[in-house]
Structure 1
């Protein structure tokens, strides 16, 4: 299998970016939900010790992925035409933009609140109420939008694979040889 994408399928590097990001996003969604409304500060700190590095990993993966597409690789041929092609491009652009907004708002929340000292360096300072910080608004709204976009992305992939039978999912999965 090629490191770079072909007209028919994604290359190994693009697949690795996709699946590593997907796994990290799943971890972020789970840890984010676990923290939502949690009153136990010790548990919240433990969860943040996973959530924050995962978020930073998604930021690094997203930036590397964007760089990969700009400087080293090209997308396979589109499977759809017309409004479906426009929707696919818009959906992917929205996912990339939202990944950046979510990670940057998370970084801003940690920086502005000073919570990093408590979470990663054992400071006795209690965790702040993140709702007191402006980046919490796009982070919270973004999490709901991210869930919706991920569900749509998965639904579109299944629709392509099962109903259009155009091999959409096999393009992003490692080839069986």
Structure 2
């Protein structure tokens, strides 16, 4: 398998970015939902110790992925034409943008609230009420939108693979040619 993409298949670097990011996003969705409404500060801190570094990893993966596409690789040819190609491009662009918004708002939330001191540096101060800080709004709304976009992305991939039978999944899965 080639490091770079071909007109019909993603390269191994693009696949690695895709699947590592997908796993990290899944972990972030799970840990984020676990914290939503959680009253036990000790459990919330324990979850944040995983959630925050995972969010930063997604930021780094997303920036590296954008740089990879911009400087080193090209996407395979689109599977659809017309509105389908436009929808796919818009969907992927929205996912990248939302991942950046989510990580920036998460970092801002930790910095403005002082939660980083409590979570990572052993401060004995109480964990702040995140809803008191403005970045919580885009972070919370972004999480809901991200869940919807990921569901739409997965549904589109399944539709391409099962209904259109155009090999969409084989383009991004690390299987032998």
Same fold by TM-score, threshold 0.5 exceeded? Answer: yes
Aligned 1:70-109 pairs, distance under 5 A:
70-109=70-109
Aligned 1:136-175 pairs, distance under 5 A:
136-175=136-175
Aligned 1:13-162 pairs, distance under 5 A:
13-162=13-162
State how many pairs are aligned: 177
Task: Give SS of 1:78's match.
Answer: coil
How high is the TM-score relative to the length of structure 1? 0.99
Structure 1 residue runs of 4 or more that deviate by more than 6 Å after TM superposition: none
Question: Deviation of residue 122 (structure 1)?
Answer: 1.0
The corresponding residue for 2:9 is: 9
- Report the Cα distance in structure 2 between the residues aligned to 1:84 and 1:12, rounded to whole angstroms: 25
Question: Deviation of residue 175 (structure 1)?
Answer: 2.2
Question: Deviation of residue 176 (structure 1)?
Answer: 2.4
Taking only aligned residues, the RMSD between alpha carbons, in angstroms, comes to: 0.6
Structure 2: which 5+ residue stretches go unaligned? none
- Report the Cα distance in structure 1 between the residues aligned to 2:64 and 2:133, rounded to whole angstroms: 29
